[in-house]
Amino acid sequence: MKKKVLIIGAGFAGIGATIQAIEQGCDVLVIEGRPYIGGRARSFIDKDTGEIIDNGQHVMMGCYGAVLHILRHLGTEQLLYRQKALSVTFFDHNGEADILDAGHLPGKLGIAAGILGLKKLSWQSRMQALMFAVRLRLMKKQSVGETSLEFLRRMNQTEESIRRLWEPLILATLNAHPSTADATLLIEVLQRAFFGGREASQMLIPRNGLSELLAPFVPYVQSHGGQVMLSTSVESLKHHAETSTVSVIAEGKEYHADTIISCIPSFALQRIASPSLLGEHTYSLLGDMVFSPIVSLYLWFDRDFMGDIRFCALLQTVTQWVFNRRLLCECSDELREQYPGHIALTISAGTQIVGEQAESVVALCLEELRRCFPGASDATLLSWKVIKEKQATFLAIPPIEARRPEQKTHAKNFFLAGDWTKTGLPATLEGAAQSGIDAIVYAHKQ
């Protein structure tokens, strides 16, 4: 008889859990409170321009094995733009450029050559970064309790290499500043991605809306005999102490299953779970979680001023990453003619700016763009959209990283997943997807 699995939440954690459960031959029911899947990773039509945009620009990497596993099952991996080798252009606030290009040599040697080719870094900084890369390949996690900044300084990284090379990476992957971001997560990111070889370090960017990547999910579940219930709120989790099991109360109806996986954010779980179910350690963590915002901007112009640059990092600016969506994303000829320039900007760890008026954020970022790209001064801004995700990710500081919970709870049929659980990864799409897969694997070993 097939095991019945109930999954709460249809973000990347829930989708990963669902696909893994189906692979293991289970009957699956997915309950999602929103009318759409994907969680915070979704796309929608901008009402002013009619163009599809995401709820914040997302970037993946070749080492995202769990995410790619999902997309292969859904048949949408081909919707990703994939670099041939890691290549990132860095612009100073005055418009001077530097390029990290790992494509000159094969494998891990390409990263080494890329670091040595950074002209804006001193020779000392480049050599220290190269030595760090060699040490990191053999390093085990030995930075418990350290911030990324403390770790990088202990690894003899110069202040200029921290500012110009490591900080943009930390902001993009950990959504935190080096002075607060947990060092063990940085080590994992660098070992997997940055120093993981050519394919692992390739950057992957959706060429279509994020929702299109996941669009086949509901039909996929249905074709395997499962069910996805959207716009269905889970009101509570009923803990049956006598059997040490849990059932789900959703819209007044009680649901039972052999395995129940919670794939929702920590603050959402706090509303429906009890200390007796999760345990005091995990339940107290839910109340202690601090979140880091991400501010995203979409700007439409009457001309393209980025040329053949697909994306780049800005240094010593509020704006951190710039994406040329006219080169990266598909759109209609009509939109391309009406809005020749379309770029997305990302500001991670945006605590200092998330409270500002949208108009002020646009004005500030536009000024920075004009300093970095001379052609931007001649471009007219036709339309814009600012998206503030105030609880984009948990803030991965060392005390929180040390307390992230594992999959198990006090109920034998109830398990946890989500990018905030103990994945060993930052709060990325990969961390979320991997947590869902791991939760199913763990549950079925019990």
Q: Looking at the 3D structure of the chain, how many domains does it have?
A: 3
Query: Residue 8: beta bridge partners?
Result: 31, 262
The answer to whether residue 200 is domain-embedded is no
**pLDDT per position in the chain (446 positions), as tens?**
789 999 999 999 999 999 999 999 999 999 999 999 999 999 999 999 999 999 999 999 999 999 999 999 999 999 999 999 999 999 998 889 999 999 988 877 888 899 999 999 999 999 999 999 888 877 766 667 899 999 999 999 999 999 999 999 999 999 999 999 999 999 999 999 888 878 999 999 999 999 999 999 999 999 999 999 999 999 999 999 899 999 999 999 999 999 999 999 999 999 999 999 999 999 999 999 999 999 999 999 999 999 999 999 999 999 999 999 999 999 999 999 999 999 999 999 999 999 999 999 999 999 999 999 989 999 999 999 999 999 999 999 999 999 999 999 999 999 999 999 999 999 999 999 999 999 999 998 87
Determine the pLDDT at residue 143. 64
The answer to whether residue 401 is domain-embedded is yes
The answer to whether residue 275 is domain-embedded is yes
Determine the pLDDT at residue 166. 96
Does 300 share its domain with 276?
Answer: no
Does 324 share its domain with 181?
Answer: no
Q: Residue 251 is encoded by which pair of tokens? A: 């819209």
Does 299 share its domain with 363?
Answer: yes
Does 312 share its domain with 389?
Answer: yes
Which structural domain range is residue 317 located in? 291-394
Determine the pLDDT at residue 31. 98
Determine the pLDDT at residue 47. 96
Determine the pLDDT at residue 142. 62
The answer to whether residue 168 is domain-embedded is yes
Distance CA 429, CA 102 (A): 24
Determine the pLDDT at residue 140. 66
Q: What is the CATH number of the domain that holds 241?
A: 3.50.50.60
Does 400 share its domain with 283?
Answer: yes
The answer to whether residue 348 is domain-embedded is yes
Does 374 share its domain with 400?
Answer: no
Instruction: Tell whether pTM > 0.85.
Output: yes
The answer to whether residue 198 is domain-embedded is no
The answer to whether residue 102 is domain-embedded is no
Determine the pLDDT at residue 267. 94
Determine the pLDDT at residue 34. 97
Does 362 share its domain with 304?
Answer: yes
Does 115 share its domain with 160?
Answer: yes
